[in-house]
Chain A
Amino acid sequence: MKILLVEDNERVAHFVKNGLLEAGHAVEYAASGRDGMNLATAHTYDVIIMDRMLPGDIDGLGVIEALRGAGNKVPILILSALSDVNERIRGLRSGGDDYLVKPFAFGELLARLDALARRVQDTHAETTLSMADLSMDLLARKVTRAGKTVPLQPREFKLLEYLMRHTNQVVTRTMLLENVWEYHFDPQTNVIDVHISKLRQKIDAGGARPLLRTIRSVGYMLTADD
């Protein structure tokens, strides 16, 4: 992926940039809103990481609004020190596609960038999702593994749907919490892990190979690869 990083804090920028490079992405970097704006209009990126508070005459939200105003549809992830739900809403309303509060785990950022870049590719409405021998009928709300029906609760269905839409991508616990349950708080108990293990028991029971993997200290991935 070709990524533009707009971040004024050197330390955080260095860390993000190195991490992204190590993950095999191409990264360009701007330290101010104006530089970021110039780069974003001159080049095409798969995704932009935009710090919200930037020095100079134009801040992160200003850049996003200007880009959206010019018809630029590049996916943008906002980085912010403001965790307030109202601030999140403001950020997303200005044209951002996702909002990540600082400090964050690098795995979280990477997983969200993957999800953002992928979202652009499959926007058409599907009626079935499938990967390996697992398939999901979105209209009949039915899931089968190797031809056998897997009975799922409505919430388990939604969880699996999210995982299947992000096949071969790491999804974090926070992403699941926000997208499957629409909660924006951190449950102290490892509730998500329990939901995942219940789902795993259902879809991977008796299957030839397990599909739902745990990615240590980051989250989960639904994949048929080894």
Chain B
Amino acid sequence: MTRLRFSAFNLALAYIALSIVVLAAFATPLWYTWRENFEERRAFLLGEEARSFTEVFEKSGPAGLARVIDARLAGARGSDDIILLANHQHVPLSGNLAAWPPEVPQAVGTFALNFRDRGRALNVLLVHTYLPDGYELLTGRESSRFRSLETLFWSGLAGAAGFVLLLGIGGGFLIRRLLLSEVQEISQTAGEIVNGNLSRRVPTQNRGDELDVLAQTVNRMLDQIEHLIHGVRNVSNAIAHDLRTPLAELRSRLEEFVVTHRSSEGSAEIETAVADTDRVIGMFDALLRLAEIDSGARRSGFVQADLAKVASEVADFYQPAAELKGLTLCFDTSGALTVACDPLLLSQAIANLIDNALKYAQNGKIRVAATRRPDDMVEISVTDDGPGISDRDKPKVVERFYRGDASRGTPGVGLGLALVATVAKLHGGTLELADNHPGLRASLLFAAT
């Protein structure tokens, strides 16, 4: 889930960054082109104005130009135009500046200047022209409106970037929520099915989008799995019924014979036949039970239980049997180990391990331990001092019906460790077989929940 959250967040971030880059790539050349054209055009217009004033001066002298300038300024009051006519001592004759700005260079030309006039800070593009008889003329345009336009441009750009940012983050969150909720539904459903609730399905909206199609595909897959599992269950139920009934008949026939011919010859043989039948029934039960656990249906019966208590009770159960064989069976624990499990199946698994240890232990000690390891795994181990299992045989002993060399001549059919391994798998754990030098150390390992 954490990974998904990051992927959605990163996606949103990447989109925001991309949008801002596109915005900048679009705005920057626009800005420069606009600015250059605009300034050139203004400089050209100011030059034109200066030229036309020069013509006026040449025709009608300083007084004539002053009149024209006054008329011009009167007609455009409040505009950004700056005009100043001054004599060779820079005494203003006409125009809208109070004094000749000292910042104006001697040279003729176009200048962008900052100066103060009547306490007003001005940012002006100026054309400086010399007129005949030492008169000088300044024509210019205040740039503050232009500056405000520039500010407007930049703030517009910043606003657009902010909007993109907001949209990106908002959209990212929205996508994440949508995506996460649908993916979460799918994973939640899968989780419930793993826990044995086979009838669960992913909700679909019939929108036909990719997630919906995915959900539908998952549902079809689940239908198929449910169908198969029910098939397996029906088959094993049918086998159970069909095979148990003749076995029941056989057993009852034999038992009836024993009862009615109690002291007659051959009744001992028949009693052995009853015991043989019981062994067949026992194997058959063990196989059915393995199939049932394998199907995972037992997971629906999981409860929170203390594994240490479960293990100690099984050890307690076998205590007298160990004493009878002259063995010590001890139990150690580091405290309560509560996990979600099927306590009955775990009892059986631990019982099988202790049963094996009782069979093979030589003359010493069987140690049953339930501990929480430093890596946070819960471990139930049964250790004996018997012949152990060779490395070659270790992977094989958990297979059904496999019997190692040491087990020849001992009772059992070779399903004990297979059941232990299957129970471990049902609980998401493993069965580990290790050497105890001498003997075997069999451990059931579970993730602590």
**In the bound complex, how far is the Cα of B292 from the Cα of A197, in angstroms?**
35
Once the chains bind, are A11 and B317 in contact (CB under 8 Å)?
Answer: no
Which residue of B has the minimal Cβ distance to A155? B316
Determine the chain A residues whose CB is within 8 A of the CB of B358 once the complex forms.
189
Please tell me which one of the listed residues A83, A103, A155, A191 contacts residue B248 in the complex, with CB atoms under 8 A apart: A103
> Given A83-B289, A103-B281, A194-B321, are A188 and B412 also a contact pair (CB < 8 Å)?
yes
Name the interface residues of B214-246: CB closer than 8 Å to any CB of A: 237, 240-241, 244-245
Q: Which residues of A contact B237 (CB under 8 A)?
A: 82
In the assembled complex, the CB of A29 is this many whole angstroms from the nearest CB of chain B, namely 15
Which B residues between 226 and 271 are near A, CB-CB below 8 angstroms? 237, 240-241, 244-245, 247-253, 255-256, 259, 271
On whether A81 and B241 interact (CB within 8 A), knowing A103-B251, A198-B320, the answer reads yes
For the complex, what is the distance from the CA of A64 to the CA of B412, rounded to whole Å? 38
Asked if B296 is at the interface (CB within 8 A of a chain A CB), the reply is no
B78 at the interface (CB under 8 A from A): no
Is the beta-carbon distance between A102 and B317 smaller than 8 angstroms?
Answer: no
Report, as a range, how many residues of chain B touch the other chain.
35 or more
Q: Is the interface of B mostly helix, strand, loop or mixed?
A: helix
| B348 contacts A183, C-beta separation under 8 Å | yes
Q: Would you call A122 an interface residue if the criterion is a C-beta within 8 Å of the partner chain's C-beta atoms? A: no
Inter-chain contact B248/A102, CB cutoff 8 Å = yes
Separation of A104 and B251 alpha carbons in the complex (Å): 8
Contact of A187 among B240, B253, B285, B355 (CB under 8 A): B355
By a CB distance below 8 angstroms, the chain B residues around A181 are 313, 317
Chain A positions within 8 Å of B323 at CB level: 194
Instruction: Report the bound CA distance from A104 to B278 in whole Å.
Output: 9
Question: In residues 1-56 of chain A, which contact B (Cβ within 8 Å)?
Answer: 9, 11-12, 15-16, 18-19, 22, 53
Q: A83-B289, A188-B411 are in contact. Are A103 and B324 (CB under 8 A)?
A: no
Within 8 Å CB of A18, what residues of B?
256
Cα separation A189 to B358 with both chains bound (whole Å): 9
Distance, CA A186 to CA B359, complexed state (A):
16
Mark A181-218 against chain B: 1 for CB-CB distance below 8 A, else 0: 10111111111001101100000000000000000010
Q: When each residue 154-189 of chain A gets 1 if its CB lies under 8 Å from chain B and 0 otherwise, what string results?
A: 010000000000000000000000000101111111
The residue from A22, A82, A102, A185 contacting B347, defined by CB atoms under 8 A apart: A185
Q: Cβ of A101: which chain B residues have Cβ within 8 Å of it?
A: 244, 285
Q: Check B247 against A15 for contact (C-beta < 8 Å).
A: no
Complex interface residues of chain B between 169 and 186 (CB less than 8 A to chain A): none
Contact in complex: B348, A103 (CB < 8 Å): no
The answer to whether B245 and A15 have CB atoms under 8 Å apart is: no
**How far, in Å, is A94 (CB) from chain B's closest CB?**
17
What band does the interface of chain A fall in when counting residues whose beta carbon is under 8 Å from B?
35 or more
Interface assignment of A226: CB less than 8 Å from any CB of chain B: no
A196 to B259, CA, bound (A): 26
B271 closest partner in A (C-beta): A217
CB contact under 8 A between A194 and B320, given known A102-B244, A103-B248, A188-B411 = yes
Pairwise interchain contact A85-B249, C-beta atoms closer than 8 A? no
CB atoms of B317 and A191 under 8 A apart:
yes
* A59 CB, nearest partner CB in chain B, Å: 12
- Give Cα A197–Cα B321 distance, bound, in whole angstroms: 10
**Bound Cα distance A104, B317 (Å):** 24
Pick from B245, B316, B359: contact of A102, CB below 8 A: B245
B344 within 8 A of A: yes
- The reply to whether B240 and A185 contact each other, CB–CB distance below 8 Å, is no
Pairwise interchain contact A191-B247, C-beta atoms closer than 8 A = no
B241 partner, pick from A11, A53, A104, A189, beta carbons under 8 A: A53
Q: Which of B431-445 contact A (CB under 8 A)?
A: none
| B57 lies within 8 A of chain A by Cβ | no
Is B240's CB under 8 angstroms from A83's CB? yes
**CB-defined contacts of B324 to chain A, threshold 8 Å:** 194
Q: For residue B299, give the distance in angstroms from its CB to the closest CB of chain A.
A: 11
Q: Specify which chain B residues have a CB less than 8 angstroms from the CB of A191 in the assembled complex.
A: 317-318, 320-321
Query: Could you say which residues of chain B place their CB within 8 Å of the CB of A194?
Result: 320-321, 323-324
- Can you name the residue of chain A whose Cβ is closest to the Cβ of B289? A83
Complexed CA–CA distance, A183 and B313 (Å): 11
User: How close is B91's CB to chain A, nearest CB, in angstroms?
Assistant: 113
Find out whether the CB atom of B248 lies under 8 angstroms from the CB atom of A106: no
Shortest CB distance A127–B (Å)? 26
Which residues from chain B contact A85 at a C-beta distance below 8 Å? 298, 301, 344
B252 and A12 contact, CB distance less than 8 A = yes
Contact B240 A82 (CB under 8 A): yes
Within 8 A of A (CB), among B312-360: 313, 316-318, 320-321, 323-324, 344, 347-348, 351, 355, 358-359
The answer to whether A15 and B241 have CB atoms under 8 Å apart is no
Contacts of B247 in A (CB 8 A): 102-103
For B351, the chain A residues whose CB sits under 8 A away are 183, 185, 187
Could you tell me if A81 and B255 are in contact, using CB atoms closer than 8 angstroms?
no
**CB within 8 A of A188: which of B285, B288, B355?**
B355
Q: Return the chain A residue nearest B419 by Cβ.
A: A185
**Can you list 19 pairs linking A and B with CB atoms under 8 Å apart?**
A12-B245, A12-B249, A81-B244, A81-B248, A82-B240, A84-B288, A85-B298, A86-B298, A102-B244, A103-B252, A105-B274, A181-B313, A181-B317, A185-B344, A185-B351, A189-B355, A194-B321, A194-B324, A197-B320
Kindly list 14 other residue pairs between chains A and B, CB separation below 8 angstroms, not including A183-B347, A194-B320, A198-B320.
A12-B248, A81-B240, A81-B248, A82-B241, A83-B240, A103-B247, A103-B251, A103-B277, A183-B348, A183-B351, A184-B344, A186-B285, A187-B355, A189-B355
